[in-house]
Every structure is written in C-alpha cells, then in structure tokens.
C-alpha cells in the first residue's frame, strides 16, 4: 500500500480498503525502522494519530476533504508548524516552537493530510548535501539498496560496510529521504538554488520547484527571499501535480504571490509525442558535467526523439551570469535574514549579560555554524 500513488491510496481510503490509522501506523513503524537514515528531526506521532482518527471519521461519513485526506506527509524543518518544534537544524532555533502554521502547512492540514513529522536539512537550508545540520547528516536510502551493498562489498575487503553511505543531496535531504523510503507519500521541501530538485535527483524521487510567486512563502523561514519557493517531493509526477494544485494560489499574507486566481488542473496523459517540442539549453553542457550525468541526459533526449517528439537546441544566454548573481543575492539576503536571530524574542540566548552587544555576539556565535559566521 505504501508504494501506491496518491490517487490510488486516496481511492483505497474511500473504498475502505485501508484506513487512515492503518496508513499512519505503518508509516510510523517504517520511520522507526529507518531511523538510521536520520531523515526526521521530529516525529509527531501523537498528532498524526489524532489527525488519522479525525480523517477516519470523515471517511466513515463519506465526507472526505479531498485527495490528501488521511495521507501521511512530512514537512521540512524550516516550515513553521504550530505547536511542533521548528529548528532549521540549527542551535539557534533549538527548542523554538512556533505559534502559527506556515500557509502551505495549513493548506495540507486543511485537506486532512497527516503530518508525520519535521524532516532534517542543512542548517537553515544552506547547503547541498544535507550534511551540515546540528542533528547530523541524512543518509540516502539507496545506501542500503542491494546494488550499493554489492558494490561496497566488492570494494571494501572486510571494512565495516555500514560506515559507507551516500548523501541525499540538499538542502531538503530529509524530505527526499522520507519520500524515497516510503515513510510518507509527499513531503514539503524548499528550493532556493536547487534544494528540492537536488535531493530529489539523489534519492530517485520527483522534486518540483514551483515558479516563484505561485506558492506562498508565509511561514517558510527564509534563506533568500527573492528566490525561495516551497518545494514538493513525491514518488511520481502525478502526485506532485495534485499537491501543487492544493498549495498554489494567492496568499494575502505573502505580498509576492501573484494575484491571479489559480485554476485547478490535471496533467494530461501524454500518448502522442509528436506534438511535444523539447529544448536542450546548449549553455548547460559544461565541461564540468560528469559523464554519467551527461549520458543519462542524452539517453532521455534520445528517448523522447525516438518516440516522435521534436528535440532541439535552445539558448539561455544569461546562464553564465547566474552563479555570480546567485552568490551576490544569496550572501546579501542571508546576512539580512539572519540579523533577526539575536536571542531576545525567541530561540537560543547565551548566558552573558554584560552588554547588549556582548549578548548578541555570544548568542550568534553559539547559535550559528561556521558557514554563517
């Protein structure tokens, strides 16, 4: 059951083939079994079971809220969740329990989704490996796949096999691992410069970065306000589309969301490739690209072409500037967004009380890791 798509599980729930509580318990036990992955920082067991109970009541009455009712989901630990600790994998926010829900979290809960817990990440979403959080790195579930174990056995010659593991990529590594390990059907990540797509690729799941302005950032603890977007991680594309349909739309609490109303949509089932035109940006074929990735890329392009789609070369001429621009924007906005962490109103505060400046300095030194200092 845990391997099904959202639509299939939703259908099964409606038909009573499985109950939300069963789903919830199965996911919870799988989370415990896969603890070694370190994908979850907080597991909200009690809350999830309670939500499952409510969902079950609704299904019994035949009043399900929608496709997500009773479905276990996970949320990256940089989204504010009311009453549930939100740490951003940093000492600065250890013990911080927000008093409100992020808009996207609220939307999921309003649809009846079951919140399994908060997933691990790089500290404050700064990183691309999910290795830099204070709770330790996230391990890629594929580290425990037969293929990888075989490979390691051949190379290790008696070394402890368990000491080798693969990274999940980041910064939404926990969310990607959670989905990849079947502990939930969908997870929220965040994407600033690839932080949802990167771990999705590493963990073999679907990672979607919606266009900026489509999904509300209210409640997402920001890294770079001009580029952050809540990301969606699922095991198939259709699932991502369902979740996007629920999350997209104008939020009066976020002034950067577009005003136009979002029409509900379903992905068309594509059988006729001849109408499809696919562009391959030539600037993306860089010398640094690994041969493995390049061959996979070519393989995909060839697959489309052989099925009748048109595959052409396109140009994205500003590509060479993108990294530089990213660095300038990123460093300025991060410095700005981190300015609020002074220990005065919430979060970690040091013991020094000599002066305000000394308190600020000590709190921030103790709270942040080296990347931010």
Partner 1 sequence: MATPILRWCCPGRRWVFAGIGSVFRHGRGVPTGSTSSGKRGQSTVAQQPLITAQKPRKGEREWAAVVGLEIHAQIASNSKLFSGSQVDFAAPPNSLVSFFDASLPGTLPVLNRRCVEAAVMTGLALDCHINRRSLFDRKHYFYADLPAGYQITQQRLPIAVNGSLVYSVCVGKRQSQMVTKTAGVKQIQLEQDSGKSLHDSLRSQTLIDLNRAGVGLLEVVLEPDMSCGEEAAAAIRELQLILQALGTSQANMAEGQLRVDANISVHNPGEPLGVRTEVKNLNSARFLAKAIDYEIQRQINELENGGKILNETRSFDYKLGCTVPMRDKEGKQDYRFMPEPNLPPLLLYDSGSLPTGTDPQQVINIDQLREQLPELPRVTREKLVQQYGMLPEHSFALLNEVGLLEFFQNVIKETRAEPKKVTSWVLNTFLGFLKQQNLAVSESPVTPSALAELLDLLDRKAISSSAAKQVFQELWRSKGKTPAQIVAEKKLELMQDAEALEQLCRSTLEAHPQVVTDVKKGNPRAINKLIGLVRRATLGRADPTVIKEVLERQLSS
Residues labelled catalytic = 76, 171, 195
- Alpha-carbon distance values, 241 to 8, 113, 197, 206, 332 (Å): 14, 16, 15, 11, 33
Nearest to 104 by CA among 17, 221, 192, 182: 221
Interaction mask 86-115, partner 1, x per CB under 8 A: --x----x----xxx-x-------------
Number of residues that bind partner 1 (CB under 8 A): 38
H-type alpha helices, 181-318: 197-203, 237-247, 291-306
Cβ pair 333, 225 in contact under 8 A: yes
Note whether 16 binds partner 1 by CB under 8 A.
Answer: no
Minimum CB separation of residue 15 from partner 1 in Å reads 38
Minimum CB separation of residue 179 from partner 1 in Å reads 23
Residue entry with tokens 């052409």:
312
Per CB under 8 A, contacts with partner 1 among 210-249 are 217-222, 224-226
Minimum CB separation of residue 244 from partner 1 in Å reads 21
Q: In this chain, which stretch among 22-30, 232-240, 299-307, 352-360 interacts with partner 1, using CB under 8 A? A: 352-360
DSSP label at 139?
B
Note whether 193 binds partner 1 by CB under 8 A.
Answer: no
DSSP label at 161?
G
Note whether 252 binds partner 1 by CB under 8 A.
Answer: yes
Q: Which is nearer to partner 1, 145 or 226 (CB)?
A: 226
Note whether 182 binds partner 1 by CB under 8 A.
Answer: no
Interaction mask 319-348, partner 1, x per CB under 8 A: -------------xx-xx-xxxxx-xxx--
- Alpha-carbon distance values, 288 to 285, 291, 295, 302, 331 (Å): 8, 9, 13, 22, 24
Q: How many CB atoms lie within 10 A of CB 84?
A: 19
Note whether 254 binds partner 1 by CB under 8 A.
Answer: yes
Cβ pair 249, 264 in contact under 8 A: no
Interaction mask 134-173, partner 1, x per CB under 8 A: ----------------------------------------
Cβ pair 239, 202 in contact under 8 A: no
- Alpha-carbon distance values, 282 to 301, 316, 318, 326, 349 (Å): 13, 8, 12, 20, 50
Contact with partner 1 (CB under 8 A) among 255, 269, 274, 290 = 255
Residue entry with tokens 């305000």:
356
Binding interface with partner 1 (CB under 8 A): 79-80, 88, 93, 98-100, 102, 217-222, 224-226, 252-256, 332-333, 335-336, 338-342, 344-346, 353, 356-357, 360
């Amino acid at each position: 059951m845990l391997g099904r798509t959202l639509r299939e599980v939703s259908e099964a729930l409606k038909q009573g083939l499985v109950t939300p509580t069963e789903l919830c318990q199965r996911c919870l036990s799988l989370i415990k079994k896969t603890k070694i992955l370190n994908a979850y920082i907080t597991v909200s067991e009690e809350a999830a079971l309670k939500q499952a109970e409510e969902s079950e009541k609704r299904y019994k009455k035949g009043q399900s809220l929608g496709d997500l009712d009773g479905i276990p989901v996970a949320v990256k630990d940089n989204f504010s969740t009311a009453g549930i600790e939100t740490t951003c994998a940093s000492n600065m926010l250890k013990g911080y329990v927000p008093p409100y829900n992020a808009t996207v979290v609220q939307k999921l809960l309003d649809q009846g989704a079951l919140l399994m817990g908060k997933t691990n990440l790089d500290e404050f979403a700064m990183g691309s490996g999910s290795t830099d959080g204070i709770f330790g790195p996230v391990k890629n579930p594929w580290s425990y796949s037969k293929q990888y174990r075989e490979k390691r056995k051949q190379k290790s010659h008696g070394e402890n096999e368990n000491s080798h593991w693969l990274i999940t990529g980041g910064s939404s590594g926990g969310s990607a691992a959670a989905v990849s390990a079947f502990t939930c059907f969908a997870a929220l990540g965040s994407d600033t410069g690839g932080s949802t797509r990167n771990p999705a690729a590493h963990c073999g799941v679907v990672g979607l970065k919606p266009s900026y302005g489509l999904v509300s950032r209210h409640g997402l603890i920001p890294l770079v306000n001009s580029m952050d977007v809540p990301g969606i991680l699922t095991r198939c594309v259709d699932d991502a589309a369902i979740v996007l349909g629920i999350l997209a739309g104008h939020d009066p609490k976020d002034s950067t969301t577009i005003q136009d109303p979002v029409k509900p949509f379903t992905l068309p089932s594509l059988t006729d490739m001849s109408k499809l035109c696919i562009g391959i940006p030539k600037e993306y074929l860089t010398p640094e690209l690994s041969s493995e990735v390049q061959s996979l890329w070519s393989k995909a392009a060839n697959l489309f072409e052989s099925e009748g789609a048109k595959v052409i070369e396109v140009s994205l001429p500003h590509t060479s500037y993108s990294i530089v621009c990213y660095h300038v924007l990123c460093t300025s906005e991060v410095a700005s967004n981190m300015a609020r962490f002074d220990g005065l109103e919430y979060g970690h505060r040091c013991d020094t009380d000599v002066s305000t400046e000394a308190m600020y300095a000590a709190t921030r030194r103790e709270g942040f890791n080296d990347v931010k200092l």
